[in-house]
Amino acid sequence: MDTNDYIVQVQDLYYRYDKENVLENINLSIKKGSFLAIVGPNGSGKSTLLKLMLGLIKPQQGLIRLFGQDINKFKEQHKIGFVSQKANSFNTGFPATVFEVVASGLTKKLGLFNFLRKTDHVKIKQAIESVGMGKFLDRNIGELSGGQQQRVFIARALVSEPELLILDEPTVGVDVQNVNSFYGMLETLNKEKGITLLLVTHDIGTISEKVTNVACLNKNMHFHGSAEEFEQLKINDVSEIYGHDVHVLTHDHHHHGGGHLHD
Amino acid sequence: MISGLLQYEFLQNAFLTGMIIGVIAPLLGVFIVVRRLSLIADALSHVTLAGIAASLLLEKKFMIFSGLNPLYMGMAFSVGGSLFIEKLRTVYKHYQELAIPIILSGGIGLGVIFISLADGFNTDLFSYLFGSVSAVSRADLWTILIISILVIALVVLLYKELFLLSFDEEYARATGIAAKTLHFIFIIMVALVIAASMRIVGILLVSSLMTLPVAASIRFAKGFKQTIFFSILFGEVSVLGGLFLSYYLDLAPGGTIVMIAVLILVLAIWLKKRAATRSI
């Protein structure tokens, strides 16, 4: 296996919190150009796994490699774009325009004591256009809808031209009608711009048709394979994967593409 | 007053100092307000009081300290207090706001003890509490000028990092910004600006100069840079207007400055409301 083909490699990873295992024996690899969805119920350790990959917390055991490099030595954070669950890390009364928010995505790449150049202004505007928010350049971020804000945050992640884009539950707070066009936008980014995508969600139904790979997580990694393989699993297998009683709810197909997983 | 400005050094000192703090207090205030740290300014100003009382006490009891400018010790206490707040915030991870009342009451307690040890002070202390036009010396002016140059330079150079830290701390950390170091630099700047501003507006009113102009501009400003611009504008109008009025009407400058800032705030809220109802 050539390590250069893999953007993320996780080996035998354990993470404990308050003496309890949050993650056990996790193995995961993300190939360049793929679109991976990590699915799992609430409390399954999805967000923890993301935090570990971003280096925000450290595992007690195991290895994480980013772009072939050990995470502790990894210095090219600008190669990774991150869109968090907007609700918990953002003050909607903050007086910043869409342009200013997206510009802040260049902070690390520009480096200390450097200012925005003209070429950066062009890049910022392009990133805003690419998520369909060109009309809102000078709007305050708090005046936008949840879905629009989420697009702005994706533009912020895109502006530093990352090779890997990580999204944590990006459709929370996005109204149902807009979820499909949102996933469509992600597909375009993946196929046309060649950005590797990692999406964390509890929304199994909608994503399996858009992504290339699926990983099912619930403390352990219960499944890790291609989207086709995942499709072939029956609903019963899915609940088995999750290790406990799971209901796969099917919503009205008029306004929703598939099912939700609840625990 | 113009002739007075040309004639009296103390008036020049007060006006120049006022113009400087009218810029730096709201400038840092914008970051303080959007990071929801408004009360930190209050806590640190009370710690500054303890430093000033300590300095006045030393001056009274020991001849060697007779020439010591209380501003320096006030600054030292303020910076020390800011470090304590940071320490307490890590100790009480889930009750971070607890650090503020602890430091605030600690500052007052210490200050009161120093004052009682000195068997009370003369009017000097009063001028520190409520600000004074005549109390600003040339040495104060120079100290404050140096601090403000340092603060403005740091804010300009670290602008994008400070913006990101304020807007989205988690994201800042995720992208590899040294959030801890940056916050440390920020809180020390706040401590210095508070100590610098208290000469004119007084310890009890310092925090208002950092928060009121921001509270007004946040009502209608588009974007962060505009918020900074209007905050500084309102800060300047309050300070200069307050100094003029207090000189002519013989009022306490600190109180007059703050009341003008309050007036601007009320106007901003009212105008915004009117604009909102009209657009419907």
Residues of B in contact with A120 (CB under 8 A): none
Calpha distance B153→B155 (Å, rounded)? 6
Residue A72 and residue A240 in contact, taking contact as beta carbons nearer than 8 Å? no
Q: B102-134: per-residue pLDDT in tens?
A: 999 999 999 999 988 887 766 677 788 888 878
Closest CA to B188 of B151, B233, B159, B224: B151
Please give the mean pLDDT across all residues of chain B: 89
Minimum Cα–Cα distance from A113: chain B residue:
B157
The minimum CA-CA distance between B165 and chain A, rounded to whole Å, is 10
Q: Does B224 touch chain A (CB under 8 A)?
A: yes
B251 in a structural domain:
no
Neighbours of B77 (CB within 10 A): 26
Domain that holds residue B114: 13-207
Q: Does residue B172 fall inside a structural domain?
A: yes
- Asked whether the beta carbons of residue A93 and residue B173 sit closer than 8 angstroms, the reply is no
- How high is the pLDDT of residue A228? 78
**B residues 28..67 contacting A (CB < 8 A):** 34, 36
A134 has pLDDT over 60? yes
Residues sharing a CB contact under 8 Å with residue B160, sequence separation 6 or more, in sequence order = A103, A104, A106, A107, A110, A115, A116
From chain A residues 137-166, the ones with a CB under 8 A of any chain B CB are 138-140, 156
Counted domains in chain B? 1
ipTM metric: 0.85
- Average predicted confidence (pLDDT) for chain A: 81
E runs forming strands in A101-205: 164-168, 196-201
Name the percent of chain A lying above pLDDT 90: 30
Instruction: Give yes or no for residue A52 having a pLDDT over 50.
Output: yes
Q: Report if residue B69 sits inside a domain.
A: yes
Question: Which of A195, A184, A171, A201 shows the shortest CA–CA distance to A33?
Answer: A195
Structure tokens at A176: 């149902």
Q: Do A78 and B175 touch (CB under 8 A)?
A: yes
Show me where the domains of chain A are located.
3-86+162-262
Per the domain annotation, does B214 fall within a domain?
no
Q: Which of A84, A101, A113 sits opposite B167 (nearest CB)?
A: A101
Residue A65 in this model has a pLDDT that exceeds 60: yes
User: Which segments of chain B have a pLDDT < 50?
Assistant: none
pLDDT at A79 over 90: no
Residues found in chain B: 280
Q: Is residue B127 part of a domain?
A: yes
Can you state the percent helix, strand and coil of chain A, rounding each to 5? 35, 30, 35
Q: Indicate the pLDDT class of residue A248, thresholds 50, 70 and 90.
A: very low
From chain B, the residues in CB contact with A86 under 8 A are: none
Buried b (16+ CB within 10 A) or exposed e, A38-70: bbbbeebbbbbbbbbbbbeeebeebebbbbeee
In a domain, B253, yes or no: no
A39/A201 Cα distance (integer angstroms): 5
Q: Is B220 on the interface with A (CB under 8 A)?
A: no
Spatial contact of B251 and B245, defined as CB atoms under 8 Å apart: yes
- Give A93→chain B minimum CA distance, Å: 8
Q: Note the pLDDT tens digit of each residue in B127-177.
A: 888 888 787 888 889 999 999 999 999 999 999 999 999 998 888 887 778
Q: Inform me whether the pLDDT recorded for A161 exceeds 70.
A: yes
List of residues 6+ apart from B142 with CB closer than 8 A: none
Query: Does residue B276 sit within a domain?
Result: no
- The CATH architecture of the domain made up of A3-86+162-262 is 3-Layer(aba) Sandwich (3.40)
Chain B residues within 8 A of A90 when measuring between CB atoms: 167-168
Q: What is the pLDDT of residues A83-113, one digit of tens each?
A: 877 555 677 789 999 999 999 988 888 888 8
Test A93 with B218 for CB contact under 8 angstroms.
Answer: yes
pLDDT given for residue B1 in this prediction: 65
Which one has a higher pLDDT value, A174 or B107?
A: B107
Q: Does residue B168 belong to the interface with chain A, where contact is any CB pair within 8 Å?
A: yes
**Per-residue model confidence as pLDDT tens digits over A226-245:** 877 777 775 556 665 555 54
CATH assignment of the domain containing B20: 1.10.3470.10
